[in-house]
């Protein structure tokens, strides 16, 4: 039996991440292996913003979702 490629179901893989993130933002996070909100906490806002596909609206959505769960992005380094 063939296994499906890892990229086959991005929405299912990123189920913990906030929607409505734009598709480009979801793809950017998936490319970096960031599949959960908790995985985002090791990055600063500027590091996430530097990813192609993550813009100001995506950052705003991500930070709001983190706040709802009592999480934050990493402080500036």
Count up the domains in the chain and report the number. Answer: 1
Q: What is the pLDDT of residue 16?
A: 74
pLDDT tens digits for range 11-53: 444 457 776 888 999 999 999 988 888 899 999 999 999 999 9
Cβ atoms 14, 29 nearer than 8 A: yes
Q: What is the pLDDT of residue 63?
A: 93
Domain presence at residue 63: yes
What is the rounded distance in angstroms from the CA atom of residue 68 to the CA atom of residue 60?
Answer: 12
For 31, the domain range is 13-68
Q: Rounded mean pLDDT of 48-73?
A: 93
What is the helix, strand, coil percentage profile of the chain, to 5? Answer: 50, 0, 50
CATH number, domain containing residue 20: 1.10.150.20
Q: What is the pLDDT of residue 35?
A: 85
Domain presence at residue 5: no
Q: What is the pLDDT of residue 19?
A: 67
């Amino acid at each position: 039996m063939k296994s499906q490629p890892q990229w086959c179901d991005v929405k299912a893989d990123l189920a913990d991440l906030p929607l409505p993130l734009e598709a480009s933002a979801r793809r950017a996070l998936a490319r970096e292996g960031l599949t959960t909100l908790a995985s985002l906490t090791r990055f600063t806002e500027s590091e996430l913003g530097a990813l192609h596909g993550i813009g100001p609206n995506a950052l705003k959505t991500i930070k709001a979702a983190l706040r709802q769960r009592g999480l934050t992005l990493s402080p500036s380094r």
